[in-house]
């Protein structure tokens, strides 16, 4: 499992995705490069969107104790995953944790996922937008379907067609992008 601690695209971290299926998620923590209050003061960003849109990685903690890190790499046009082991992401003093159940800086849909089992996992690939994209992985999302909770999409710019990592509810995906997206079940 040591090799899993290196950040890579979802298809290269299948064992982490397989570990998610059937697992109960006990914690979702966004690690923002800026304090939540600072992010919330950005123009056109409502405070409850800070968890979803802040710049920085997400850690998914499973009931088993496994912690999966998620971010994205613009050069790959892909989400990335790694096994986060101590001291890991949480020990970085430059990162500010925001929990999924934060009443001010997160939408209630994310809190509903806590304590729930993941019943399905898919890698979301995107059609190339240009010739220069053809040789890149374009694994722009990981879609997690929960038992009794909204769907979670770990996204590379699917909310605004950008190079930003975002943590989305299904309704937050830019509608114009859906025809360009294709699921690859795990």
pLDDT string in tens for the chain (186-residue length): 446 789 999 999 999 999 999 999 999 999 999 999 999 999 889 999 999 999 999 999 999 999 999 999 999 999 999 999 888 999 999 999 999 999 999 999 999 999 999 999 999 999 998 998 999 999 999 999 999 999 999 999 999 999 999 999 999 999 999 999 999 999
**Helix, strand or coil for residue 20?**
helix
- pTM of the predicted model, to two decimals? 0.95
Of 133, 15, 33, 32, the closest CA to residue 74 belongs to 133
Contact between residue 22 and residue 117 where contact means Cβ atoms under 8 Å apart:
yes
- Rounded to whole angstroms, the Cα distance separating 104 from 4 reads 34
pLDDT score of 1:
47
Tell me how many domains the chain contains. Answer: 1
Maximal CA-CA distance, the chain: 43
- Rounded to whole angstroms, the Cα distance separating 108 from 100 reads 8
Residue-number span of the structural domain to which 74 is assigned: 2-185
Residue 2: exposed, middle, or buried by beta-carbon count in 10 A (0-12, 13-18, 19+)? exposed
Contact between residue 167 and residue 155 where contact means Cβ atoms under 8 Å apart:
yes
């Amino acid at each position: 499992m040591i090799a899993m601690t290196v950040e890579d695209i979802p298809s290269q971290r299948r064992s982490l995705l397989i570990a998610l299926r059937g697992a109960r998620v006990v914690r979702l923590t966004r690690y923002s490069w800026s304090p939540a209050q600072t992010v919330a003061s950005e123009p056109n960003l409502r405070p409850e969107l800070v968890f979803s849109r802040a710049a920085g990685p997400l850690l998914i903690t499973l009931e088993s104790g496994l912690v999966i890190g998620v971010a994205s790499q613009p050069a790959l046009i892909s989400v990335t995953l790694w096994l986060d082991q101590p001291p890991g992401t949480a020990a970085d003093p430059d990162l500010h944790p925001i929990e999924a159940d934060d009443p001010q800086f997160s939408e209630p849909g994310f809190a509903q996922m806590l304590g729930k089992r993941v019943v399905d996992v898919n890698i979301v690939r995107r059609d190339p937008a240009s010739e220069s994209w053809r040789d890149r992985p374009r694994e722009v999302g990981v879609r997690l379907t929960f038992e009794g909770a909204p769907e979670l999409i770990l996204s590379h710019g699917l909310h605004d067609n950008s190079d930003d990592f975002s943590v989305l509810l299904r309704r937050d995906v830019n509608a114009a992008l859906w025809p360009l997206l294709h699921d690859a079940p795990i």
